[in-house]
Every structure is written in C-alpha cells, then in structure tokens.
Amino acid sequence: MADRVLVVKTLAPKSYPTDGVLLTLTAADVSNKNYFVMEGDDLLIVRNDGTGAQTVTIASVADDMGRTGDITADSIDQDTWAIYGPFRNTAGWAQTQRHMYLEASDAGMKFAVVKLS
C-alpha cells in the first residue's frame, strides 16, 4: 500500500470576518486511504458525491485510560454532508505523527478539515 493521502486543512475565519473562506475538499483515496495532521479544534466534514449511500471510517487509538472509539462504517446518503468533531483533543484519535486516519468506501466521498482556532 502506498502512503495515505493528505487532506489539506481550511482555516476558519476569525471573529468579525469580512468575507467567506472557500472550503478545500479532497477526494477519498479508497486504496491508500487518507489522513490529516491533528492540531486540536479540527472539524471534519465529509461529502458523499458518490452513487448511493457510502461509508466513512475514522480510526481511534487507545487513550490514556485504554479506551478506543472508532467511528466505523458510518453511512452517509448520496448528495449529503456529515460533520464529525470538533476534535479538540488529540488523545484517543492521533496516530503516529499526530495523524488522524480516515477511509471511505467510494472515491466519490470528499473530505474537508476545518481548523477552528
């Protein structure tokens, strides 16, 4: 398997914005999977542009209490958006190098990550 594909973050506007910020979407790589670098206050947005319902999985890791909580094969209907987070703390989610691992069942799925702070 090749390296996972990076999902580039969009920085949310600060207080009293004078204009909007364009959201950067990254197509799911079904073979290699995707990731983003966690910094805390990250909001994951997923769009299903595929055919029919598709799934997304977000892998967790054991936190300091040994707990895990994968989001496994969460179904998203066609032409629908889903929001996960905000992930304010990296504990329980950050893989090596502070990466959050994402995967989708179809290349029609799109990922966006918004840095809130």
CA distance 54 to 61: 24
How much is the average pLDDT of 65-85?
95
pTM score over 0.85: yes
* pLDDT of res. 1: 61
Structure tokens at 91: 């504990």
CATH number, domain of 108, equals 2.60.290
Task: Give domain status of residue 9, yes or no.
Answer: yes
Beta bridge partners of 101: 35
Structure tokens at 58: 């977000």
* Overall number of domains in the chain: 1
pLDDT level of residue 64 (50, 70, 90 thresholds):
confident
Peptide bond into 86 cis (omega under 30): yes
Q: What percent of the chain has pLDDT over 90?
A: 83
Structural domain boundaries enclosing 63: 5-13+24-115
Structure tokens at 14: 């600060």
Task: Give domain status of residue 18, yes or no.
Answer: no
Under 8 Å between Cβ of 13 and 20: yes
Place of tokens 């920085």: 11
